[in-house]
Amino acid sequence: MTATRIDGKAFAARLRERVGEHALAFAEAAGRKPGLAVVLVGDDPASEVYVGSKGKATVAANMLSFKYRLPADASEEQLIKLVDDLNQDDRVDGILVQLPLPGHLDEQSIIAAISPDKDVDGFHVINAGRLSVGQSGFVPCTPLGCMMLLTDRLGDLSGLEAVVIGRSNIVGKPMAQLLLDANATVTVAHSRTKDLASVVKRADIVVAAVGRPQMITKDWLKDGATVIDVGINRLPPEPGKEKGKLVGDVAYDEASEVASAITPVPGGVGPMTIAVLLRNTAVAAYRNAGLKVPEGL
């Protein structure tokens, strides 16, 4: 058996195109474009790249991109004041504060300051609560992207056994909740799980979000499992090369001998994250304007 490669890059491109069409329809109905504000504190190089790519993707999806920058030594009060101003700004439908923040700033306090209805990252405790009780809110972009790939591949997930490896608030916990809502039987595994390999071996669906390169080998997988690899890890560089290879939490080549379908790294889950961020922003725009969210968005 050779696993089908789940092409997240192609899926994300189709999603971004669809979001762009709905953004144009929104602009016609509301008299303005949807707007996404991104706040960057400090000058972390990786964050610079992420913010730049999000801005370009936002404009390409027929939405307005607002970028705000504060110095690395900005106070918590300054940042919360900026967030509050954006909460009140009718041009802004989604607010994203780029993480990680400098160490003197409390991330939870900053996230709590964002209006839940503009929290397109889905990190606010109110949106986490909405997800847990089945109410409509915003779901973190990475797990929602994973869910889109899974339902596109498998259709109805009812009765399937799913194992989520990792219990973070950003991926593991919301991923488990989404799978539960889709009527899968869900186990959340983590560093304290006894005999982790045997737990994973039961799963029809494996979502790996643990941050350990190529930890999951083919011996851990049930024949025919569908594998979603959230991990992005850089190996040490080979001799003569500046950068090491990017790999996931799953040993892709050997896992492909056992799995029925698997996401690659790069080109799997990664492209979905920004695409879902744009989707969440478009949804926020419709809701904030009191308009019905279109089917298929």
Run means of pLDDT, 10 residues per run, the chain, 297 residues: 94 98 98 98 90 95 98 97 98 96 96 98 97 96 98 98 97 98 97 96 98 96 98 91 92 98 97 97 98 94
Parts of the chain belonging to CATH 3.40.50.720: 141-271
Please tell me what DSSP assigns to residue 269.
S
Integer Cα distance of 141 and 85 in angstroms: 24
| pTM of this prediction exceeds 0.75 | yes
Parts of the chain belonging to CATH 3.40.50.10860: 30-115
Topology (CATH) of 30-115: Rossmann fold (3.40.50)
What local confidence, expressed as pLDDT, does residue 189 receive? 97
What local confidence, expressed as pLDDT, does residue 44 receive? 87
Is 3.40.50.720 the CATH number for 141-271? yes
Q: Smallest Cα–Cα separation from 189: which of 209, 204, 174?
A: 209
Catalytic residues, which ones? 54, 98, 121
**Strand partners for 41:** 70
What local confidence, expressed as pLDDT, does residue 238 receive? 87
What local confidence, expressed as pLDDT, does residue 242 receive? 84
The CB-side HSE value for 160 (13 A sphere, CA atoms) comes to 22
Integer Cα distance of 55 and 125 in angstroms: 26
Q: Which two tokens stand for residue 35?
A: 């707007």
Integer Cα distance of 273 and 136 in angstroms: 19
What local confidence, expressed as pLDDT, does residue 286 receive? 98
What local confidence, expressed as pLDDT, does residue 211 receive? 93
Please tell me what DSSP assigns to residue 139.
-
